Amino acid sequence: MVDLALKEDATSKPATSRMPGNLGSDRTFRAISVSSAVAVLVMFTGIMAALIYGAWPAISAFGLSFLWTEIWNPVTQKFGAVAPIYGTLVTSLIAMLIAVPVGIGIAIFLTELCPPSLRRPIGIAVELLAGIPSIIYGIWGLFVLAPFVQQYVMPPVIDAFSNVPVLSDLFAGPPYGIGIFTAGVILAIMVLPFITAVSRDVFLAVPPVLKEAAYGLGATKWEVEYNVVLPYARGGVVGGIMLALGRALGETMAVTFVIGNANRVSTSLFAPGTTISASIANEFTEAVGPLYAPALVFLGLILFFVTVIVLGAAQYMLYRLEKRAGGKS
């Protein structure tokens, strides 16, 4: 009995001796994690406070009417944000309508249909698009995409919908080449790698046994992707889409080159327009007067809140989808 007690005591000593170190590591890890979370909140609050402070003269002068006023006149110090807000939302919407189905389709092709010899080169090529500077996209859009759209896209579309009641206003001329539609196409190309890369990675994380079971029941590839892969990976896909949407909402240089930079609201997607980021980039260096610079900072504050609202809505949508499915993906 004494020998047995000694053996038990000898085997328990190493674990006891390691426990203080383990507790210290756990406390350190907890402190670092809490500090990181607090730092994010502090940065978030600091950015919001700095924007409110810089925009306060414009907030005091214009109030909420700044959101639905179209006039933008630095001479008379009268400013309104409806044109930049409209351009930001519409160009981002066009970009997502193009990039989401194409990006998810590329991801499905790379994970399910692409020959193994081409999978890696195509994947690398798509990911390299994310590393191209935005000003390069802008130059390419101005000298290549805009003339192409002006010559081969806008005229036939304008002619095709000239007698259709709603579409005739949505696609009205003249065909400048630059405008809201061209900016949306540029944004779609820029955000495509984010959607494709994230979707491909989450598709690869789907357990093969789920797909094999579906194939065993006689499902086609389309049925497996639609009923098995996409529901399982919807959290990651939504995350990639939101990452791309955040990039589209805040993109500056590429949009500035091709949108036309006109502070007005037009029902035509082919007309010039502006975005919040493009307006700030174009006018901040020449902002003189008591309200000009604060009005631009006010635009930045609006963009900040628009981004937060969009991301919050996406999280809520994802929560509803998970709740409807009965659990997390």
CA distance 12 to 113: 56
As to burial, measured by CB atoms within 10 angstroms (0-12 exposed, 13-18 middle, 19+ buried), residue 241 is buried
pLDDT in single tens digits along all 329 residues of the chain:
445 444 545 455 454 445 555 667 888 888 899 999 999 999 989 999 999 998 898 888 888 888 888 888 888 888 888 999 999 999 999 999 999 999 999 998 888 888 888 888 888 888 888 888 888 999 999 999 999 999 999 889 988 888 888 888 888 878 888 889 999 999 999 999 889 988 888 888 888 888 888 888 888 888 888 888 888 888 788 888 888 888 888 888 889 899 988 888 888 888 898 999 888 888 887 878 788 888 999 999 999 988 888 878 777 777 776 776 655 44
Q: Which residue has the tokens 């993109």?
A: 251
Q: Considering the entire predicted model, what is its pTM?
A: 0.83
Among 252, 295, 302, 243, residue whose Cα is nearest residue 275 = 252
Distance set, CA 140 to CA 97, 182, 253, 260 (Å)? 21, 12, 12, 15
Q: Which residues have C-beta within 8 Å of that of residue 85, sequence separation ≥ 6?
A: 67, 276, 302, 306
Where do the domains of the chain lie, and which CATH numbers do they carry?
Answer: 62-325 (1.10.3720.10)
Runs of H (alpha helix) within the chain? 2-62, 82-108, 116-128, 134-140, 146-148, 154-160, 167-170, 180-204, 208-216, 221-224, 230-232, 234-250, 253-258, 276-283, 292-325
User: Could you give the CA distance from residue 300 to residue 304 in angstroms, rounded to a whole number?
Assistant: 6
73, β-bridge pairs: 78
Under a CB-based contact definition with an 8 Å cutoff, are residues 143 and 157 in contact?
A: no
